[in-house]
Amino acid sequence: MTPGRPVPPPLAKPLPGTPPRQGTAPLEGANQPAAPTAPRLAAAYGATATGSGLVPLTVSRRAPKDDDVEIAIEFCGLCHSDVHATRGEWGAQTYPLVPGHEIVGRVSRVGAAVEDFAPGDLVGVGCMVDSCRECDSCLDGLEQYCENGMTGTYGAVDARNGDAVTQGGYATSVVVDRRYVLRVPENLDPAAAAPLLCAGITTYSPLRHFGVEAGDVVGVVGLGGLGHMAVKLAKAMGAEVKVFTTSESKVAAARELGADGVILSRDEAAMAAANRSIDVIIDTVAAPHDLNPYFRTLRRDGALFQLGLPSGGMPPVNPGALIRRRIAYAGSLIGGIAETQDMLDFCAEHGVVSDVEMVGAGQLNEAYDRMVAGDVKYRFVLDTSTLGHPSEKADA
Ligand code: NAP
Ligand code: ZN
Ligand code: ZN
């Protein structure tokens, strides 16, 4: 709980399912709900070893079970977590590993018990595809904090599906239990909506948890995929936004995104001028960095949410910086399923999407290098129509 701030009321519980939707018309030409008996091969790109880069692969997708939704993926965002994971920066991985957890596409087949999705629906999948559905966190709609461990969209052991290792969204299709599938509002551009499934919800959740509203001052550290979404979402919530960036080239761009102030974080005088001016900081930096200068910019009862998960250690936090102003140093992991739907609906209402640069399969490795260099405004999105066709035999 953030000191001095009310916790927002719990969001609607996502389980066991929403009422059937009315009048959903299948897309012309989309697969009709044929007997869901056969697994399908999907063309994909992924890593085969720590240093392999991304190469063409073929993955097998299970035949939809009763509660499953099969999705023809159209777009998938490139998150910095995909770089950390495929390059082994977060420790040992199971290869081959197809990354991607910012998935948008159209439903192609549904299982017999699925009433809330139909072929042709525009849907999304974020960072998790299952959780225990029984623990307090799951029952509170906070499946990302599942006390038995949520099942990540890629690289995770899928206990309900024969302990198969999940493979992500740099692929032409995926099969996911309906409880973890989101409805993407049709008024959102599907490619620009894809990054909402991770970058959007990961920044929306702590802003909501802190209860950000008009009159609050939000600081955003790092203007990449997560950071630019934090700016847009905080502005849409009515806050004043200050961006901290290491990149002089992003100063004007930050203002174009809606930032009211931009501070070059390596400029000590500019940092000192921001002393005690901010209520909550959303820190999205993907590399180790010193947080103490940011604590000084917070007002009493402020909070810093660290969202970035660098592979290296961080410089130590000075407890005095926290104690003197009753400052909270917190972390936050993506968001629950109901909260993710809430975020998508909020974005549809406020016209919020990501600023994207489209890439084809052959540009994925270059896009990773550019992301690490901070050279993207602000999210690469893979057009899965460039993935080609699956081979006759699955690699994973
Ligand atoms: P990104 O697009 O690469 O943006 C990260 C930004 O951090 C960069 O644009 C840059 O902004 C800043 N930065 C990078 N290297 C830096 C360095 N050496 N020194 C200072 N600043 C640096 O990455 P992202 O996809 O937004 O992800 C950011 C982090 O969040 C990653 O670690 C990712 O794994 C993590 N993540 C966490 C969650 C969660 O649930 N908590 C969810 C998704 C991602 P400037 O150029 O403006 O300085
Ligand atoms: Zn992500
Ligand atoms: Zn659970």
Task: Per residue of the chain (396 residues), give pLDDT as tens.
Answer: 344 444 444 444 444 443 333 333 333 333 444 444 779 999 999 999 999 999 999 999 999 999 999 999 999 999 999 999 999 999 999 999 999 999 999 999 999 999 999 999 999 999 999 999 999 999 999 999 999 999 999 999 999 999 999 999 999 999 999 999 999 999 999 999 999 999 999 999 999 999 999 999 999 999 999 999 999 999 999 999 999 999 999 999 999 999 999 999 999 999 999 999 999 999 999 999 999 999 999 999 999 999 999 888 899 999 999 999 999 999 999 999 999 999 999 999 999 999 999 999 999 999 999 999 999 999 999 999 999 999 999 999
- Ligand 1 atom 38: residue of nearest CA: 307
pTM higher than the cut 0.85: yes
> Does 251 sit in the ligand 1 pocket, CB within 6 Å?
no
- Ligand 1 atom 44: residue of nearest CA: 81
- Ligand 1 atom 16: residue of nearest CA: 287
> Does 80 sit in the ligand 1 pocket, CB within 6 Å?
yes
Residue length of the chain = 396
Q: State in Å, rounded, how far the first CA of the chain is from the last one.
A: 42
Helix/strand/coil for 144? helix
Residue carrying structure tokens 């200068």: 293
Q: Which atom of ligand 1 is nearest to the CA of 334?
A: 40
Alpha helices in the chain (DSSP H): 80-86, 136-139, 190-193, 199-210, 225-236, 251-257, 268-273, 292-295, 319-323, 337-350, 364-372
Residue carrying structure tokens 């629950």: 336
CA 116 to ligand 3 centroid distance, Å? 22
